[in-house]
Amino acid sequence: MSKPKLTYFDAPVSRGEECRLALHLAGVDFEDVRIQQADWPALKPQTPFGGLPMYEEPGHPVLAQSNAILVLIGRRHGLHPTDAFEAARHEAVMHHVEDLRANVGPTIRIKDEAEKKQRREALVESFLPAWGASAEKQLGDGPFFAGSRLHVVDLKLHMAVRWFAGGKVDHIPATIFAAYPKLSRVHDAVRDHAGVKAWYAKG
Ligand SMILES: N[C@@H](CCC(=O)N[C@@H](CS)C(=O)NCC(=O)O)C(=O)O
């Protein structure tokens, strides 16, 4: 391995995409390894905790857990606060996004459609609005979490809102977080960020 390597599934979503975006915005020349679902069972036992993304760079052991990867990249490249308390505030919100995934993610694997509908409608009823309201309370004048500059926490919030905004998650309305203007503003500010646009322009 001659340069950093980020391994994730072959899709522009979730924990892997937020790490790819962070590396791109940091200006890191990295190997973007995209694996197919069919290859995952063989790779899974070789990952540190049984999940992706994982990040590798010469001279270091493999690193997993999206928040740890994001904080590492952010600290090194000015995308995470240097002040310890401020950094912890950002990390709290990053963990809040992981709480969202921990609640919604398991419904993806439900095979029975009626059960999936019931579980997701329950999330729409209580968990998701409560999640959005808590996130909203953490946000200030924007447009980003910490004001005018993008940090890795913003990538995480963006990806959380984007998950539903496309309207492709059955039984969860695309507008689920529309009632939270600050959260929506972070989503839009990341989407419209020149570096983020450049990443997607690359195809
Ligand atoms: N807490 C881990 C979760 C990793 C995780 O569950 N990743 C998902 C993809 S977003 C995965 O690998 N799913 C396949 C599996 O668990 O077998 C993180 O933040 O990176």
Pairing of strands 63-64, 31-35: unpaired
Confirm if 99 and 48 have CB atoms less than 8 A apart.
no
Q: How far is the CA of 150 from the centre of ligand 1 (A)?
A: 24
Closest residue (by CA) to atom 16 of ligand 1?
Answer: 51
Angle, helices 66-77 vs 84-108, to 10°: value is: 150
User: How large is the C-alpha radius of gyration of the chain?
Assistant: 17
Tell the CATH topology of 84-193: Glutathione S-transferase Yfyf (Class Pi); Chain A, domain 2 (1.20.1050)
Ligand 1 neighbourhood includes 184 CB (under 6 angstroms)? no
Instruction: Quote the pLDDT of residue 170.
Output: 96
Ligand 1 neighbourhood includes 14 CB (under 6 angstroms)? yes
State which ligand 1 atom lies nearest to the alpha carbon of 16.
10
Instruction: Quote the pLDDT of residue 1.
Output: 80
Instruction: Quote the pLDDT of residue 198.
Output: 98
Task: Show the tokens assigned to 138.
Answer: 């953490």
Fold: same for 5-79 and 84-193: no
Q: How far is the CA of 15 from the centre of ligand 1 (A)?
A: 8
Q: How far is the CA of 162 from the centre of ligand 1 (A)?
A: 18
The domain limits of the chain are 5-79, 84-193
Residue with tokens 């419209």: 192
Tell the CATH topology of 5-79: Glutaredoxin (3.40.30)
- The torsion angles phi and psi of 33, rounded to 5 degrees, stand at -90, 120
Angle, helices 84-108 vs 113-122, to 10°: value is: 150
Ligand 1 neighbourhood includes 20 CB (under 6 angstroms)? no
Q: What is the mean pLDDT of each run of 10 residues along the chain (203 residues)?
A: 95 97 98 98 98 97 98 98 98 98 97 97 98 98 97 98 95 97 98 98 84
Q: How far is the CA of 52 from the centre of ligand 1 (A)?
A: 5
Instruction: Quote the pLDDT of residue 202.
Output: 86
Does the pTM surpass 0.95? The reply is yes
